[in-house]
Amino acid sequence: MRLINTETLEIQDHGDRPPPYAILSHAWGPEEVTFQDCTPNPHKTSSKFGFAKFKGACAQARKDGYDHLWIDTNCIDKTSSTELYEAINSMFKWYDKAHRCYAYLSDVADDSVYFDKSGTPKVTESFRRSKWFTRGWTLQELLAPRDVVFFSRNWQRLGTKLELQVPLSEITFMPIDYLVNKTELRAASVAQRMSWMSKRETTQPEDMAYSILGIFGIFIPIIYGEGIHAFLRLQKAIMEKNDDHSIFCWEWDHTVDPSWASVFAPSPRAFANSAKYSPKPWSNGDIATPYHIRNGGLSIALPLVQTADPSVVLAMLDVEVYDGERNDFQVGIPLQIGPMYQRLPFPLHPVQVNGNFLAGEKNVLINTTENGHGHRLSSRLLADQENQSSRLFSDLQRAARARVGFFLAFHLDGCEIEHISTQPGVELIRTVSMVAFIDPVAGSDSSTFMATALKIKHKTIGETVVLLATMTRQGSGYLFFSQALPPNRRRTKESIDSALAKLRERSAREDGDKSYQSGRELCVTMGGSFPLSGNGGPTVKTVQVWVNKAAKSINPVQRVRAGLLGLKRTLSRS
């Protein structure tokens, strides 16, 4: 290991037994001082812009009593690919072993942090927006060392990681216990650790993977030029050491190509909203379902839940959504059925299903490559005409044996839709204006009530609130309730919650009076029309589609009513 002598500024090689040293964490800037610049005489590059940072770091280390300092730009010979690859795989360890880490924020003023009378740190917006918090490599440089001291651009001390733990947690979205090294990183789920990287950037696309190797305790070959395949290799390497299924709990957004077919994410950005996913806790000797990679696919045994589309299933993972309390819901991801199953971009994110509903496991092979195999099914829900609705209808009829909840789709006339209040298992998929009640299954001796409140807004006329709810009985089926509240701009969340409570009371009364849709039956029914204003303005029309345990018969009149909802299936070669 090479280290800088803080007195002479010379670089010295200390082999595998380095003396106590400090280490610098920084965002690269223009004209950095390189290893070649420092050999043999570092003073010859004093005119370089980065020399002031180099000299300032050495001065601070010397002031703190450290004779040696490590800086990546100076101590790694980047002209040697072998040395660079070894350094990347050793980086986390070097920061972990450092006696002190200096986090140098070159774009932050001296007065960006202050402490009030109670000793509580206050940070300015310039501190929060520092480039240092956006770079990929600085994530492990924040987490690995225990002693981190932050400095301004003029080397003014701002505070330690321990002193600034609250604002640092707010900026990085990381729990304090991981920040201050109270809890080992391996205690965080794979999805949670990926989420910490989701807002950061690197100059080279491969570094989105290489910069977090140490956070997962992974060593992989360094291959610049392979692009996003580096992140695929990282995920496969994580799987070899970890059976945490949250690695599959990433979400589709604008950064993910719709043609992406792998069960693995294309980048950490897809985990931006995935910190909530954690492995399902197991007891009584149970363990999570193991898996392995073969022939470009993931071989794994998982429970599969058939959806209303016969070509799509939800693959249920050993994962839960943990937000302070545990529940009976389990997380599933949508897959297209085939010789090799493929991840689908619809729904956009993993969905929750009642764990009591799951059947036995099935061995499946899921694609792990970027492009997939054969034809690619991309599902979009559109307000289409009868030619599409007939296709939807026949698909639903073939899927009548399915065991799923129901979907409610909105036919909107220039409207926006958003959640106001909801419960686990109720999903709003904005891009297709669709609400999914995912398998609302009750216990054996009770009924389950699930509800959501949606605000439906027209850009020029106004808005209304629609309440949707289900009452579900184990082994029987579903009752559906809906109510549109009169337009009222002053409506509060309290009044909406009160309306939901009244709807629940109504459902409880009707629970014993109405017959559940039971047996083997498929239903496609009109949900109603909700006016957005009282003066003849546009209406919001809904169609309910749900599948119970199988099918008996279907009213042919409902075939026409299903025309409001069309399932467009676009086939394209991957």
Give the tens place of pLDDT for each residue, 305-362: 766 556 777 888 989 887 666 666 788 888 888 889 999 876 677 877 665 556 678 8
Cross-strand partners of 333? 315
> Could you tell me how many residues make up the chain?
574
E-strand ranges in 127-211 read 148-151, 157-160
pLDDT per position as a tens digit, 60-76? 999 999 999 999 999 99
- The Cα 158–Cα 48 span in angstroms is 26
Alpha carbon distances (Å) from 375 to 97, 138, 371, 378, 465: 50, 41, 10, 10, 41
- The Cα 119–Cα 115 span in angstroms is 5
Torsions phi, psi for 36 (to 5 deg): -65, -35
Alpha carbon distances (Å) from 8 to 44, 71, 98, 144: 13, 15, 20, 28
Cβ atoms 94, 23 nearer than 8 A: yes
545: tokens are: 């589609």
Model pTM score: 0.69
What is residue 235's DSSP assignment? H
Cβ atoms 239, 293 nearer than 8 A: yes
Low-confidence ranges of the chain (pLDDT < 50): 283-285, 374-407, 409-413, 429, 431-434, 438-444, 515-574
The pLDDT assigned to 52 comes to: 92
Alpha carbon distances (Å) from 143 to 137, 271, 278, 329: 11, 19, 20, 32
The pLDDT assigned to 310 comes to: 64
Alpha carbon distances (Å) from 74 to 139, 382, 561: 20, 57, 71
Run of H or E residues at 378: strand 375-382
- The Cα 342–Cα 326 span in angstroms is 29
The DSSP annotation for 142-157 comes to: HHS-S-EEEE-TT--E
Run of H or E residues at 497: helix 493-511
The pLDDT assigned to 287 comes to: 55
Residue linked to tokens 């050993």: 318
Cβ atoms 95, 23 nearer than 8 A: yes
E-strand ranges in 476-538 read 477-485, 522-531
What is the biggest distance separating any 2 CA atoms in the chain, rounded to whole angstroms? Answer: 90
Residues 6+ apart with CB under 8 A from 3: 11, 12, 14, 18, 19, 21, 68, 69, 70, 75
State yes or no: cis peptide before 40, omega within 30 of 0.
yes
